[in-house]
Chain A
Amino acid sequence: MSKIDMGEKQKKLKAGLEYIGVDRIDGPLVFIRKTHSVGYRELVQCIDPHGNTRLGLVLDTSKDIVCVQVFEGTSGLTMPDTHIRFMGEPLKFGVSEKMLGRVFNGLGQPIDDGPMPVAEAELDVNGMAINPTAREYPRDFIQTGISVIDGMNTLIRGQKLPIFSGNGLPHNELAAQIARQAKIKGSKTNFAVVFAAMGVKNDVARFFVKSFEETGVLDNVALFLSLADDPSIERTITPRTALTLAEHLAFNKNMHVLVIMTDVSNYCESLREISTIRGEIPSRKGYPGYLYSDLAELYERSGMIKGFSGSITQLPILTMPNDDISHPIPDLTGYITEGQIVFEREMYSRNIYPPVAGLPSLSRLMKDGIGDGMTREDHPHLASQLFAAYSYVKDVRNLASVIGEEELTPLDHQYMEFGETFEKTFVSQKMNEDRTIEETLNIGWRCLNILPREELHRVTDEEIEKYYGR
């Protein structure tokens, strides 16, 4: 027993021990030989020759050599004059409700000239896995005012629903619109937005700030900005810092937190960068084999917990490289998140906003959050019918592109018309248009009016009586 105590005591004594000079610097990584025994993922302070402190984390530790990842980059470090101090504890982040309305860098240090808010709690940025038995199954419908989301890919409070977009598509506009319009039917609650920017352009960050300002919600938003010209390594910690604050707000302060993370592709690229420098065996497209687990650590930090009224809803944005949905980043994301909203370039060029591709988009939690008592009783069947009909439209369009539109049967012509109307009136809406769920569903029925009644297999006779043909 005494032996163990001794060990613990020695560890504590050695915490804060500083070493002068490092043995190798490679990209964002620093290697030091002959240290005391350093803990895995221990926090490190790295003091550059000018006396400025940078933060780092132990990535690999052994008797002989320790590998440290420096978040603010290694530029300006020299081998003999760099001081390394091991802190003897994991990376923690002091969180506070006062962080709302403030702007931070990716590590959680204020960059808006204000002081660092006094921390209410010091939390490990890596978080911990939520016990599945402690989770509350999410089922509260969030009305975003956007038909194609509310009607067909319903967002649920506590869900993680990413936007799969491409360069040049209006994902930022959609995310901002959701943040502006999102509300729970018939309730007024404490809400907050945590915004994590990973490697995005300055203009994008400004767009979001402006959009929050205009709607007067800026006081409820905490921004974590690690922009394109910040060290890429900082991005690997940005979402974790942001989610740590989100967890504090949701589960200690009972707030409903919407976390917008953009752009996850940049985050993955930073991971790849570190992995390559460390000489790890790459998996698909050079991304590390643990990309799935790493992304899961982010996305799974959402949801609701029994006994707490707060929640974390995640809206990650990722740009699919070359619009390829089978690229590892969207692919792995889709396996973890509860659905996805997929953008289609072809629709955008036909001037449809939001250009949400009807068929590949999906909300997995939708089934339990819609219907009688939550939205409207016809919602589940109507959504299913719209999907089925729209899917047939796609087939007909393919057929028409081969044999020509004239050769189509009269029924197929009706489907073509349905497809047009559906895209122009249901999917398409203005960037400031806020439709209620009833409006959305009624527009859906108006589209179905184009089709003959016998084609509607997925709605019940009562629903047809009540809504069809009106």
Chain B
Amino acid sequence: MKERIIGQVKRVNGPVIEAMGITDAMMLELVKVADSRLIGEIIKLEGQNAVIQVYEDTTGVCPGDNIYGSGMPLSVELGPGLIGTIYDGIQRPLEDIYKISGHFIEKGIQVSSLNKDKQWCFVPEVNVGSLISGGSIIGSVQETERINHKILIPPEVSGVVKSISPKGDYKITDTIAVVETADGDKNITMVQNWHIRKPRPVKERLPLNIPLVTGQRVIDTLFPIAKGGTVAIPGGFGTGKTMTQHAVAKWCDADIIVYIGCGERGNEMTDVLKEFPELIDPRSGKSLMERTVLIANTSNMPVSAREASIYTGVTLAEYFRDMGYHVAVMADSTSRWAEALRELSGRMEEMPAEEVFPAYLPTRIAEFYERAGYMKTLSGKVGSVTLIGAVSPPGGDFSEPVTQHTKRFVRCFWGLDRQLANARHYPAISWLDSYTEYLYDVIPWWEQNAGPTWSEDRASIMELLQKEVRLQQVVKLVGPDALPDSQKFIIEVCTLFKNAFLQQNAFDNIDRYSSIEKQMKMLQVILTYYKLGSETIKRGITLVKLKHMSVYQDIIKMKFNVPNEDLKLLDKLMAKLERSMDQLESTYV
């Protein structure tokens, strides 16, 4: 696209620039500012003036500097080469920036999002004369061992295939097909652009009834999320938002992970970069990096790019969804994105609403989360985008606007609890504050795949946890001795459940991931312990004797000792439990 001067800088105030003498600019157009060609976007037009949000540091920009228009909105490049790459908030590959500018990120760097020189082996999947429409698959590229990258027709193109290249190596910018459309012939390459603020079209939304299995017991068993669903993880600092996001990103059964580090720590992204290539996905046996795209806009990188990073990430996710993949997007943290909105809004001197956030905050949050879904794509395949957003409420107070508005638009809520985190109970997902609206949607799947009693067992343990809260209140008033053994036993079982089941060690080679079968069996062991134990207590056995059974220690350590591949050990443990209970009764009754 040819560059043209569309106006001059009038005022500079941080990342917000006022421009004057605007002749022909369009709303949300991508522009470059000054001789150093800083990337920006037009966010307001008024007569001859415009307001531009600049994605880089504006130090040194002077009034009178030229503004260059690009004629297109801020877009991402979609094509082979995305997987395993780490991008900044506006899809510039950080590895390439590193090669150009070294350890620090200089401004005004122009790099291509995708490698334009690399050759990919393209395999055609349509013939000359085929009728195709927007979103159709015309071929594929084996991008990584695990990801078969489908080459899609851009959504606005439809017609008849006039020519298609044979199998062979091509660059992404080579024409691989020509489509005869109503407006003449269109050359199709392996790369397409898409405006980040516009959702990619789909054929229809489908109901959500398959869970996203994360391998995290508290999530899968207590608060499951469906593929295509939305979830918020709020928690004060140090409660483990990032750790939970990392755990889900590592072990969930999505095909592709888009991890957006939005306004968070630089070392966290380095951690992902270092750790993911080394970790092996339990399902495919391949490195986790082979299914991951990273977007890093750390807290010291420019604030407006932080605003864009969320959209960049979700657009990439939609692109993979259109190929028929299940994509999970981790956004860490959406509060930083909301704060970026607030900062920019303040610089534009807009009228503030609650807590100085702009009045359009809820609209933006809603627009973002509605891009999730389980979809039938334009090509007729089925794919999904699941959005998992961390929220960082100031002071850990969930009544603040970002948490509250997010709660309105998500259907699953994993509230992180400060007290649990303080006791180093991780994941610190509170079983009292959290909820999921997907429960009834996923029950059939669970009962089919894990066991017919799943929802019943889940309900029993939830009921026990609720009872425990009331009992703990009594204990707080009158002390534990006031309770009868049968009620003390409920507290005991809940403590066991928390230690042996809910707590999960992300750094233990066995415990970091639990298959659904293991989760189900572990839950049944604990419920059996409760059932048999309360009967024994009714027959007069004291709680102390129950606790001294050696099988009790085995239950506590089962999460570490039973690998996912060897669940027979849990059956054995169950048998041992039943035997021990019998022995106990025969000894003492």
Residues in chain A within 8 A of chain B (CB atoms): 4, 7-8, 11, 37-42, 60-63, 89-90, 124, 126-138, 158, 251, 280-284, 288-290, 292-293, 296-297, 299-301, 303, 305-306, 308, 325-328, 331-332, 334-336, 338-340, 359-360, 362, 364-365, 367-368, 380, 384, 387-388, 391-392, 398-399, 402-403, 407-409, 412, 454, 457
Contact = CB atoms under 8 A, between A and B. Distances in A.
Interface stretch (B100-108, B164-172, B194-202): B100-108
B282 to A, nearest CB: 21
Interface in B243-270: 261, 263, 265-267, 269-270
Contacts of A335: 237, 392
Given A283-B356, A409-B481, A135 B270 contact: yes
Contacts of A89: 60
Interface string B3-21: 0000000111110001010
B59 A331 contact: no
B395 interface: yes
A8 B300 contact: no
B299 A63 contact: no
Contacts of B507: 367, 380
A454 B94 contact: no
Contacts of B397: 326
B266 A39 contact: no
B540 interface: no
Contacts of B392: 335
A300 B97 contact: no
A137 B98 contact: no
Contacts of B269: 132, 135
A130 B60 contact: no
User: Which 3 A-B pairs rank lowest in CB-CB distance, beginning with the nearest?
Assistant: A326-B395, A62-B11, A296-B299
A387 B104 contact: no
27 contacts: A4-B35, A7-B64, A8-B35, A11-B62, A37-B62, A39-B12, A39-B62, A40-B13, A41-B60, A61-B12, A126-B57, A131-B102, A134-B102, A251-B103, A284-B355, A289-B342, A296-B263, A296-B300, A328-B394, A340-B237, A365-B267, A367-B507, A368-B271, A380-B507, A391-B424, A403-B479, A454-B552
Nearest to A126: B59
B11 A281 contact: no
Contacts of B271: 137, 368
Given A37-B64, A39-B62, A399-B475, A300 B300 contact: yes
B299 A300 contact: yes
B41 interface: no
A39 B60 contact: yes
Nearest to B242: A364
Nearest to A385: B424
A384 B421 CA distance: 11
A281 B266 contact: no
Contact of A407 (B18, B481, B557): B481
B238 interface: yes
Contacts of A38: 62-63
A284 B342 CA distance: 12
Given A63-B10, A281-B346, A399 B476 contact: yes
A42 B60 CA distance: 6
B106 A300 contact: no
Contact of A137 (B270, B346, B356): B270
Q: Which of B10, B65, B101, B103 has the most CB of A within 10 A?
A: B103
B478 interface: yes
B238 A132 contact: no
Contacts of B35: 4, 7-8
Nearest to B553: A454
Contact of B97 (A40, A62, A131, A407): A131
Residue of B10, B20, B59, B94 contacting most chain A CB atoms (<10 Å): B59
Interface string B44-71: 0000000000000111111111100000
A391 B503 CA distance: 15
B273 A300 contact: no
Given A289-B342, A300-B299, A133 B12 contact: no
Interface string B414-446: 000001001111000000000000000000000
A30 B342 CA distance: 27
B356 A134 contact: no
B299 A131 contact: no
B343 A293 contact: yes
A54 to B, nearest CB: 21
Given A133-B270, A339-B238, 6 more contacts: A40-B58, A131-B94, A132-B296, A300-B300, A338-B267, A408-B479
B305 to A, nearest CB: 10
B102 A63 contact: no
A90 B59 CA distance: 7
A297 B94 CA distance: 19
Contact of A293 (B303, B394, B499): B303
Contacts of A296: 263, 298-300
Contacts of B10: 62-63
B478 to A, nearest CB: 6
Given A62-B12, A62-B18, A336-B299, A138 B267 contact: yes
A8 B64 CA distance: 12
Contacts of A133: 86, 94-95, 98, 270, 273
Given A62-B63, A328-B394, A403-B478, A303 B11 contact: no
Interface in B497-511: 499, 507
A130 B94 contact: no
B336 interface: yes
A382 to B, nearest CB: 12
B85 to A, nearest CB: 10
B452 interface: no
Contact of A292 (B58, B104, B336): B336
A438 to B, nearest CB: 22
Contacts of B237: 331, 334-335, 340
Contacts of A303: 266-267
A237 B50 CA distance: 32
A136 B479 contact: no
Contacts of A360: 238, 422
A338 B238 CA distance: 9
Contact of A41 (B59, B106, B266, B423): B59
Interface string B290-334: 000000101111010000000000000000000000000000000
Interface in B104-122: 104-106
A288 B343 CA distance: 9
Nearest to B342: A289
A132 B475 contact: no
Nearest to B496: A457
A42 B300 CA distance: 20
B11 A61 contact: yes
A128 B424 contact: no
A156 to B, nearest CB: 10
B380 interface: no
B480 interface: yes
